[in-house]
Amino acid sequence: MKRKLVILGNGMVGHRFAEKIAEYGGTEKFEVTILGEEPRRAYDRVHLSEYFTNRSADSLYLSPSDWYRTNGIRLLLSEPAISIDTVSRKVTTSAGTELPFDELVVATGSSAFVPNFEGVDKQGVFVYRTIEDLEKIMSYAKQVSKVAVLGGGLLGLEAAKAVLDMGKESHVVEFASRLMPRQLDEAASSVLKSKIESLGVRIHLNKETKHALGDSSFQGLEFVDGSVLEVEMLIVSAGIRPRDELAKNSGIEVGQRGGIIVDDELRTNVYGVYAIGEVALHKGMIYGLVAPGYEMAEILAYNLCSPGQKTKSYAGSDLSTKLKLIGVDVASFGDALGQTEHLPIAYTNPRTGVYKKLVLSPDGKKLKGGILVGDADAYSTLLTLYLNNVELPAEPESLIVGTPSEEGSAFGSLPDDAKICSCNNVSKGDLLGAIRSGSCSDLKGLKECTKAGTGCGGCIPQMNSILKEELRAQGKVVTEHVCEHFKYSRQELFQIAKVKGIRSFEEMIRTHGMGNGCEVCKPAVASIIASIYNEPIQKHREIQDTNDKYLANIQRGGTYSVVPRIPGGEITPDKLIVIGQIAKKYDLYCKITGGQRIDLLGARMDQLPDIWKDLVEEGFESGHAYGKAMRTVKSCVGSTWCRYGVQDSTAFAIRIEERYRGIRAPHKLKSAVSGCIRECAEARGKDFGIIATEKGWNLYVGGNGGVNPKHAILLAADLDEETCVKYIDRFMMFYIRTADKLVRTSAWLEQLEGGIEYLKDVVINDRLGINKALEEEMDNLVGTYVCEWKDVVDDPEKQKRYKHFINSEDSDPTVRFIEERGQKRPVDWPKKELVSN
User: Is residue 676 annotated as involved in ligand binding?
Assistant: yes
Inter-residue contact 621 to 787 (CB < 8 Å): yes
Question: How far, in Å, CA of 231 to CA of 225, rounded?
Answer: 18
Taking each helix axis from N to C end, the angle separating 290-305 and 12-23, rounded to the nearest 10 degrees, works out to 30
Cα gap 312→304, rounded to integer Å: 10
Return the bridge partners of 426, or none: 421
Hey, how many other C-beta atoms are within 10 angstroms of the C-beta on 343?
16
C-beta of residue 219 within 8 angstroms of C-beta of residue 230: yes
Strands in 589-592's sheet, in edge-to-edge order, are 553-554, 560-562, 598-603, 589-592
Q: CB-side exposure of 513: number of CA atoms within 13 Å?
A: 27
DSSP codes, 345-363: EEEEETTTTEEEEEEE-TT
DSSP of 756-781, one letter per residue? HHHHHHHHTT-TTS-HHHHHHHHHHH
Ligand-binding site membership of 590 (annotated): no
Q: Check whether 680 is labelled as a binding-site residue.
A: yes
Q: What's the maximum distance between 2 C-alpha atoms anywhere in the chain?
A: 101
CA 55/CA 72 separation, integer angstroms: 31
Q: Are 196 and 328 in contact (CB under 8 A)?
A: yes
| Beta carbons of 371 and 188 less than 8 angstroms apart | yes
Per DSSP (E only), the strands in 593-731 are 598-603, 630-635, 669-674, 688-692, 697-701, 713-719
Q: Is 724 labeled as ligand-binding?
A: no
Contact (CB, 8 A) for 788 and 537: yes
* CA 836/CA 76 separation, integer angstroms: 56
Could you tell me if residue 254 is left (phi over 0), alpha (psi between -120 and 50 degrees) or otherwise beta?
A: beta
Element (H, E) at 732: helix 721-738
A 10 A CB-CB count for 320 gives 26
Read off φ and ψ for residue 391, nearest 5 degrees.
Answer: -70, 135
- C-alpha to C-alpha distances, 321 to 372, 375, 421, 430, nearest whole angstrom: 10, 14, 10, 21
Q: Rounded to whole angstroms, how far apart are CA atoms 182 and 173?
A: 16
- 683 CB neighbour count, 10 Å cutoff: 29
Whose CA is closest to 635, among 600, 670, 666?
670
The CA-atom distances, in angstroms, between 721 and each of 676, 688, 692, 702, 775 are 15, 15, 10, 20, 15
Length of the chain in terms of residues written: 837
Quick one: which of 401, 417, 337 has its CA closest to 836?
Answer: 401
| First-last CA distance in the chain | 68
Q: Which residues are annotated as a binding site for [4Fe-4S] cluster?
A: 636, 642, 676, 680
Q: Which residues are annotated as a binding site?
A: 636, 642, 676, 680
Q: Which residues are annotated as a binding site for siroheme?
A: 680
